[in-house]
Amino acid sequence: MKNQLALSLAFACAALPSLAADAPKDKQKPAPKPAVAAAAAAPEREADKALAGLDVGAGLKAQLFASEPMLLSPSNVEVDHLGRIWVCEVVNYRGRNGTRPEGDRILVLEDTDGDGKADKQTVFYQGRDIDSALGICVLPSLDGKSTKVIVSCAPNVFIFTDENGDLKSDKKDLLFTKVGSPQHDHSTHAFIFGPDGKLYWNVGNTGKGVSDKDGNPITDRAGNIVNDGGKPYRQGMAFRCNPDGSEFEVLGHNFRNNYEVTVDSFGTLWQSDNDDDGNKSVRINYVMEFGNYGYVDELNGAGWKAGWDAANKKAKLSDDDKPLYHWHMHDPGVVPTLLVTGAGSPTGITVYEGDLLPAPFRGQVIHCDAGPNVVRAYPVKTAGAGYSATIAPVLTGARDKWFRPSDVCVAPDGSLIVADWYDPGVGGHAMGDLTRGRIFRVTVPGAEKYTAPKLNVSTTAGAVAALKSPNLTARYLGYTALKAAGTKAEAELTTLLKSDNARHRARALWLLAQLPNGKTHLAAALKDKDADIRITALRAARRYNLDAHAAVIQLASDSAAAVRRECAIALRHSKASDAPALWTKLAQAHDGQDRWYLEALGIAADRNEAAFFAAWQAAAGANWSTPTGRDIVWRSRTPAAAPLLAKLIMDAKTTGPDKARFLRALDFIPKCKEKDDALAAIALGAL
């Protein structure tokens, strides 16, 4: 969207300032520059030409659902269970802040006759307190009489409540405060309801920290104050918490501008991250829980350029090398990147779990990148303990470079809803166009009519039908109704657990795990033939305190590296007496090539480095210098690893790049005698 990466505009004289500057505090209303104004008046910019400027992915069909003057500049959208589209409409953005004195708006758009085009607009809320809101999450009540709406607008996260069903806010409460800088899109982003009953959300690298509604800094479940001061978290972060904000967890950190997070039915997290502008290093991440993602140096917070410049002096590097340095991938303790997509301005993201769209899009991450004017799918395949991904286009602004997709959601019928900020550029402190904004619907030929399946969550069967919906709000209602039903829903959920759809099965499992005999359901799921179901079972055991340690014991020899990865993560901060032996067993299964698996082992060893490493070292004995052993030594942070690193560095068989790699690993071991002795031995050996 416009408030992302500063790119070249369609017209050079319309270039916007760099995003690196702080948000201005004045209320200037700069007029559009002449070239932008002239281009905006061109006939091809009119809404009736909107579809002509777009290419649509194979097997898909696009419709213009809504446009100006019904809405302007949508920054984020949500689709509820009735098919209504909730919109953060932003006009008062940065250089335009104050253009609309009444404040920005939350709109609700409806298609009342099912023709695939909105014909009704309702203003849910308007005020200066939501200027430049960047996130919306809609959580209706079971009886349909009220709706809670979470709006992310730095430095606050609000909960607005419609108490009587008239689509007007009647109450405003704070959920979190002191989260980021006002008018900055690297701050607070959208919330999403997960399959486990938790809320997921994130902040970019101006988020700084999170405080509760009373302004008190949040301490997470690991005992860390949630801020970016490096103890231990840095830069952008991804979070999980209960709907009331309790049981707060930091699931990943050290992102630049992780614009929005999404979670699939198995509980796997996905998000994008924006590079330092212009460096062709925008990335898509699988967010392995509790990982460091390497935007800045973990030890001192330094940026990536110094390392890049130093390496470039030794050997000419190419753009293909840049992402490795940009995200500090040469450092131990950094989780790998799933996919680098080049230059861009990444924005909204979702996981498509419907069956209306063709097979290549089913079960895949769908993502907006406003810079290159695209909405893409990223089909993934399991690759060891991680994933590999390719790119499949959904919508492309092939002939209209003002197409700036800002968000994507899944409607109840399985179609996609895409918000278009529509502007000549992205990034900086201004907007080139204040007069337009579009919502597109992506469907398939023959499904042009837009209707939402009727839900009746007052019955167990109806609640299960809602839980199976491709739409998140419908699933929220199904989950809430089934959890309230308790054991009365067990039979139908057990039937769903036996279905052919793995994602439906996972949704059932999250609920079954919370019943009085949840351990029985998990015990069966831990033996399931589908690795994703075994992973979900272990995650549910962790989430609901159902003896996750016993599950790790059962799965530690699993044939799937991804399952063993989850076992490692489950051992993080474990106080069990056999945790070192379990970690050693998992470590011995490392193949010496899988960076995802290695980083899972490192995450698992946090606060238990000495005990875990000692157990592994005792098991490895003198035969420790294998591909597996060298990896584990490189990743370790314990003093006992220092003399082994020195041996590797001084070994005549160690290549130059590996010597540098092992020497760098010593930086991550705290100052101690073992480290000093290792450095002295290396220095003497070099004489």
Q: pLDDT (tens digit, 9 = 90+) per residue, 39-98?
A: 777 888 999 999 999 999 999 999 999 999 999 999 999 999 999 999 999 999 988 889
Q: Is the pLDDT of residue 489 over 80?
A: yes
pLDDT tens column, 620-639: 999 999 999 999 999 999 99
If one compares 7 and 652, the residue with the highest pLDDT of the two is 652
What average pLDDT does this structure show over 349-359?
Answer: 97
Give the per-residue pLDDT at 24. Answer: 29
Q: Please give the DSSP secondary-structure letter assigned to residue 131.
A: T
Nearest to 272 by CA among 206, 349, 335, 377: 349
Residues 185/191/194/196 CA torsion (nearest 10 deg): 120
CA 659 to chain centre: 35
Positive or negative torsion for Cα 191, 140, 437, 351: positive
Contact 6, 425 (CB under 8 A): yes
For 234, other C-beta atoms within 10 Å of its C-beta total: 23
3-class secondary-structure state, position 416:
strand
How do residues 524-580 score in pLDDT, each as one tens digit? Answer: 999 999 999 999 999 999 999 999 999 999 999 999 999 999 999 999 999 999 999
C-alpha torsion sign, points 374, 377, 380, 385? positive
* 33, pLDDT greater than 70: no
For residue 521, is pLDDT > 50? yes
How many residues comprise the chain? 687
pLDDT at 111: 98
d(CA 25, CA 12) in angstroms, rounded, equals 27
3-state secondary structure of 382: strand
Structure tokens at 329: 């991938």
Q: Classify strands 346-352 and 261-263 as parallel, antiparallel or unpaired.
A: unpaired
- Please provide the average confidence, as pLDDT, over all residues in the chain: 93
Helical (H) or strand (E) element with 495: helix 490-497
Residue 17: pLDDT over 80 = no
Q: What is the DSSP string of 144-177?
A: SS-EEEEEEETTEEEEEEESSSSSS--EEEEEEE
Phi/psi of residue 107, each to 5°? -110, 155
Contact (Cβ atoms closer than 8 angstroms) between residue 237 and residue 200: no
Q: Specify whether the backbone of 219 is left (phi greater than 0), alpha (psi in -120 to 50) or beta.
A: beta
CA pair distance 116, 452, nearest whole angstrom? 11
Q: Are strands 291-292 and 249-255 parallel, antiparallel or unpaired?
A: parallel
3-state secondary structure (DSSP) of residue 607 = coil
**Residues paired with residue 162 on neighbouring β-strands, in sequence order:** 147
- What pLDDT is recorded for position 278? 87
Query: Residue 585: which H helix or E strand, with range?
Result: helix 579-588
Structure tokens given for 198: 């938790």
Q: How far apart are CA 566 and CA 551, in angstroms?
A: 10
Q: Phi first, then psi: give them for residue 427, nearest 5 degrees.
A: 100, 165
Helix (H, G, I), strand (E, B), or coil: what is residue 288?
coil
CA distance 76 to 409: 10
Strand partners, 474: none
Please name the amino acid found at residue 614. Answer: A
Q: Which CATH number fits domain 12-443: 3.40.50.1820, 2.60.40.10, 2.120.10.30, 3.20.20.370?
A: 2.120.10.30
User: By CB neighbour count within 10 A (0-12 exposed, 13-18 middle, 19+ buried), where does 312 fall?
Assistant: middle
- Reading phi first (left if > 0) and then psi (alpha if -120 to 50, else beta), residue 433 is in beta
Q: Residue 175 has which token pair?
A: 């959920």
Distance, in Å, from the CA atom of 14 to the CA atom of 12, rounded to the nearest integer, reads: 5
Neighbouring CB atoms inside 10 A of 31's CB total: 7
Distant-in-sequence, close-in-space partners of 678: CB < 8 Å, separation ≥ 6: 642, 643, 645, 646, 666
Name the residue with tokens 């050290």.
254
Token code pair at residue 654:
């160690």
Considering only CA atoms, which of 262, 307, 344, 252 is closest in space to residue 19? 344
Span between the terminal Cα atoms of the chain, in Å? 56
pLDDT score for 430: 75
Residues of the chain above pLDDT 90, percent: 90
Peptide bond into 69 cis (omega under 30): yes
Return the C-alpha torsion angle 88, 91, 95, 99, nearest 10: -140
- Beta-bridge partner residues of 273: 283
Integer Cα distance of 667 and 202 in angstroms: 30
Using the CB atoms, write b or e for 321-333: b if 16+ within 10 Å.
ebbbbbbbbebbb
3-state secondary structure of 422: coil
Please give the model's pTM, rounded to 2 decimal places. Answer: 0.94
Check residue 15 and give its pLDDT.
27
Question: What pLDDT is recorded for position 54?
Answer: 98
Maximum CA extent, the chain: 83
pLDDT at 10: 30
CA distances from 248 to 48, 155, 176, 197, 420 (A): 46, 18, 11, 13, 33
DSSP-assigned letters across all residues of 208-231: -B-EETTSPBPB-TTS-B-BSBSS
| Cα–Cα distance list, 63 to 84, 272, 350, 393, 417 (Å) | 16, 26, 19, 16, 10
Confidence of residue 277 (pLDDT cuts 50, 70, 90): confident
> What's the rounded mean pLDDT across residues 245-256?
98
Distance CA 108, CA 104 (A): 13
Give φ, ψ of 63 to 5 degrees.
Answer: -130, 150
Tokens found for residue 176: 């979190």
Strands (E), 571-633: none
C-beta of residue 648 within 8 angstroms of C-beta of residue 662: yes
Q: Which residue has the tokens 């995003």?
A: 19
77, 85 in Cβ contact below 8 A? yes
- Other Cβ atoms less than 10 A from the Cβ of 49: the count is 14
Stretch 337-354: mean pLDDT: 97
